[in-house]
Chains A and B, each alone.
Chain A
Amino acid sequence: MLRFFVGRLLQSIPVIFIVITATFFLVRAAPGGPFDAEKTLSPEVIERLNERYNLDAPMYEQYFDYLGHLAQGDFGPSFRYTNRTVTEMIYAGLPITFELAIYAIMIALVIGIFAGMLAAIKPNSAQDYIPMSLAMTGICMPSFLLGPLLVLVFGIWLQWLPVSGWGYSPGDKILPAITLGSTYAAYIARLTRGGMLEILSQDYIRTAKAKGLPMATIIIRHALRGGLSPVVAFLGPAIAGLLAGSFVVETIFQIPGLGRFYVQAAFNRDYTMILGTTILLSCLIVLLNMLSDLLAVWLNPRLALSNEKN
């Protein structure tokens, strides 16, 4: 198990290195620069800015310079927000985005697994069709449509919940979490249904029935562990996707999370900010995928065996 973990960790180093390099050159290759603005700055000012941020140096020098700082954990200064470093901004935004993603994935797991199980227990009945058509709707509905709809119904018509903000008034975290989580709930419901249906048709479920176990025990003890393995495999990429995709929800609900900084940085050509957030997110994606693989091994003892063999 440890060898498997270390092996995966070593494999991820080149992946992250490639991400850093590709991002570094791609953002510089894109047209425009960090100091383009509606009000054109005088050439002298731009020259001095370029000098200050080392942008007048040759590309390869900038690259190695950046790598050197990065190795010391320094993401560099933001090109847009003077006097603020990228590290500071990530510190401010990441916990909020993380909290949002955790709530969203919890909502997605609870609703998704429950709906998928209901559907799998009685396939091709109302108990299957209703949650599954809802799930289909959930997958099709983009968050920029669902978010405003929820705001309209619960925030404006019913006035049950605040329409925006994060931690300013009680209950303002509910709507963003639901908006972000619903698509994933739908995916998880479909994965759970598929996984459970496959497991429930296995011979060992018949064995469990022949032992005289009640249906609930059979499902919880014998079917769930195997039935959820597709969900577990999906979980790593899903959380990573939640983090990266949170900017729409953060924009709708005016949440000062990392996602908003990320999008703004792209618009602003804030090179260091783009690089910093991209590196952070790619590390998270690699890490979460690894965790979901580990979880899969823990759930399925046969995988541990094949890993030991390799």
Chain B
Amino acid sequence: MSLLTVNHLSIDFTTRDGTVSAVSDVSFTVDKGETLGIVGESGSGKSVSCYSLLGLIPMPPGHIKNGTAIFDGIDLLQANEKTMRQIRGKRISMIFQDPMTSLNPYMRVGQQIIEPLLQHSNMSKTAAKEKAIALLEEVGISDAANRFQQYPHEFSGGMRQRVVIAMALITEPELLIADEPTTALDVTIQAQILELIHELQQRRNIAVIFISHDLDVIKRMADRTIVMEKGHIVEQGNTQAIFDAPTQAYTQKLIASIPNSAKPEAYRFTGDQDSHFLTLNNISIAYGNKKNLFKAVDNVSLTVKQGEILGLVGESGCGKTSLSHSIVRLVDIQQGEICLQQDALEKLSIAELKGKALKATRKDIQMIFQDPYASLNPRMTVFNTLAEPLRLHGLASNAEDIKNKVLTLMQDVGLEARWANKYPHEFSGGQRQRIAIARALAVEPKLIIADEPVSALDVTIQAQILSLLLKLCQERQLTMIFISHDLAVVRYIADRTAVMNQGKIVEINDTESLYQNPSDPYTKSLLAARV
């Protein structure tokens, strides 16, 4: 018999615009010791269905319309609060997505780890502490006895997720629900955490429900996989079988959207190999005061050729964003020189620009940011968002001209003209990123800096935006610096790739050469960490 049997689960949410069905008619089973992967894009209902098993969805607005979830003879959806409390954290544990927010910042981690144990057993504090320290060591935290006394902010992201895992496992649960446990982590850390979860599961023979939007992660972790779309199960079965031969159109589309190829031939750089469009000479950027100096960018030199897409890859804190911000003068450099070539002879030193000249150069360099939810002004319509830079830089002669230019821009990025008077919140994530791209293009820049432009997007949307960027760069002969932590994405879009680590560029090469024959040990470890 299965450990957990979910039958015909349907969940509604009451919103201002009426009732929305978040999950409808979802049925699955989990057996002892197996890993069930649930994969889907945002809004597919993958998290909601699992949260409902533990009674963690707020009700109202949530409402379980139908279904049963039998765990060891108990219906989790009908059980009273007292019964549920004895299951939550004892027999079924959870690991949440963001280890930065899922630990209480006001409490020592040790206290938080032993809490479920003290709640669910009669164990003494000393015994619980001993067990917790042993477990912390098992999940790879050295010097556990001292770390036990520390607060969450004294741990790095990966270490915190280890703490969260220890906390979930301390009561020796039969079922572990992991909701995007590695999404917020860097690739090398992600690989370690996935390995850890896999190892612990083998050792303790626990069942795991692994929720992720990342197909590669699911492919690696799950024995069986469920593919969800808009609250429905599209396909379920053996993981290998689903990835090798998906039967449903949606699954096929999802798998096809994973960037796993080299840059398409048609879009490759064909310009002048010796051009020096943008030159960075020995630049350094540091934060903090004299006593506590943190060098974000340490003596970096780099040349970008006219018309190429340069990928900039690195993990969080490597300095890639500081470097890109210095090019648009959002941060000042302490040392070095940034030059933008105007024409064959003239060169502009960006760091020395002031006033009007700075404004003119800003027009030539535009940025696209990671989060299309945060980077668009929520109180401006699409039309105004796109018209503002045109007016600001005097690129249109009159109202008619502005209107034409805005509508052309919208068409170029695949937005319908009738949406011009809508506000950002009325658009989906992918559409918003199209607006952000259009805004960057509005002033006809020569260089685009795209800082993780597809990281916040679902995989199918990500594929659309990537091909849009490739198309636009070619049509408009744009030069682009494409920053990402995602190696597969960079491989698909960049002509050359630079790898950054601890403020330095450790390797730069043609993308394919770099992916196939990495020379630097850090690049090698990054590539090895890919799932």
Chain A residues proximal to chain B, CB less than 8 Å: 202-204, 206-214, 217, 221-222, 225-226, 299-302, 305, 309
A213 to B54, alpha carbons, bound, how many Å? Answer: 12
Q: A203-B98, A210-B54 are in contact. List 8 more A-B contacts (CB 8 A).
A: A207-B167, A210-B56, A211-B167, A212-B90, A217-B119, A221-B107, A301-B151, A302-B153
- Known contacts: A212-B119, A226-B105, A301-B151. The answer to whether A203 contacts B96 by CB under 8 A is yes
Which of A213, A214, A300 contacts B105, CB < 8 Å? Answer: A300
List the 4 closest A-B pairs by CB distance, nearest first: A212-B89, A211-B89, A212-B88, A203-B101
- Known contacts: A212-B116, A212-B120. The answer to whether A207 contacts B88 by CB under 8 A is no
- B104 engages A208 (CB within 8 Å): yes
Question: Which residues of chain B are within 8 angstroms of A221 by Cβ–Cβ distance?
Answer: 107
- A204 engages B85 (CB within 8 Å): no
- Size category, B interface: 20 to 34
Using CB atoms, name the residue of chain A closest to B93: A210
- B103 engages A207 (CB within 8 Å): yes
A301 to B151, alpha carbons, bound, how many Å? Answer: 7
- A213 engages B102 (CB within 8 Å): no
Min CB–CB distance B429 → chain A (angstroms): 21
Of B56, B86, B104, B105, the most chain A CB neighbours within 10 A belong to B104
- B106 engages A225 (CB within 8 Å): yes
Mask for B79-121, Cβ within 8 A of A = 1, else 0? 0000011111110011010100111111100000001100110
- B153 engages A204 (CB within 8 Å): no
Question: Which residues of chain A are within 8 angstroms of B54 by Cβ–Cβ distance?
Answer: 209-210
A42 to B143, alpha carbons, bound, how many Å? Answer: 85
Min CB–CB distance A207 → chain B (angstroms): 5
Q: B292 within 8 Å of A by Cβ?
A: yes
- Known contacts: A204-B103, A222-B104, A225-B106. The answer to whether A212 contacts B87 by CB under 8 A is yes
A208 to B96, alpha carbons, bound, how many Å? Answer: 11
Question: Which residues of chain B are within 8 angstroms of A305 by Cβ–Cβ distance?
Answer: 153-154
A234 to B103, alpha carbons, bound, how many Å? Answer: 26
- A214 engages B106 (CB within 8 Å): no
Question: Which residues of chain B are within 8 angstroms of A301 by Cβ–Cβ distance?
Answer: 105-106, 151, 153
Min CB–CB distance B74 → chain A (angstroms): 14
Which of A204, A213, A300 contacts B101, CB < 8 Å? Answer: A204
- A211 engages B116 (CB within 8 Å): yes
- A309 engages B116 (CB within 8 Å): no
- B102 engages A204 (CB within 8 Å): yes
- B120 engages A206 (CB within 8 Å): no
A selection of 21 A-B contacts at a CB cut-off of 8 Å is A203-B98, A204-B103, A206-B102, A207-B96, A210-B54, A211-B88, A211-B89, A211-B116, A211-B119, A212-B88, A212-B119, A213-B89, A213-B115, A217-B119, A221-B107, A225-B106, A226-B104, A300-B106, A301-B153, A305-B153, A309-B292
A202 to B54, alpha carbons, bound, how many Å? Answer: 17
Min CB–CB distance A70 → chain B (angstroms): 37
A210 to B89, alpha carbons, bound, how many Å? Answer: 6
Min CB–CB distance A296 → chain B (angstroms): 12
Min CB–CB distance A200 → chain B (angstroms): 11
- A299 engages B106 (CB within 8 Å): yes
Of B54, B94, B106, B116, the most chain A CB neighbours within 10 A belong to B106
Question: Which residues of chain A are within 8 angstroms of B85 by Cβ–Cβ distance?
Answer: 212-214
Using CB atoms, name the residue of chain B closest to A204: B104
Min CB–CB distance A26 → chain B (angstroms): 39
Min CB–CB distance A79 → chain B (angstroms): 51
Question: Which residues of chain A are within 8 angstroms of B56 by Cβ–Cβ distance?
Answer: 206, 209-210
A203 to B88, alpha carbons, bound, how many Å? Answer: 16
A210 to B90, alpha carbons, bound, how many Å? Answer: 9
Question: Which residues of chain B are within 8 angstroms of A206 by Cβ–Cβ distance?
Answer: 56, 96, 102
A221 to B93, alpha carbons, bound, how many Å? Answer: 20
Using CB atoms, name the residue of chain A closest to B108: A301
Min CB–CB distance B363 → chain A (angstroms): 38
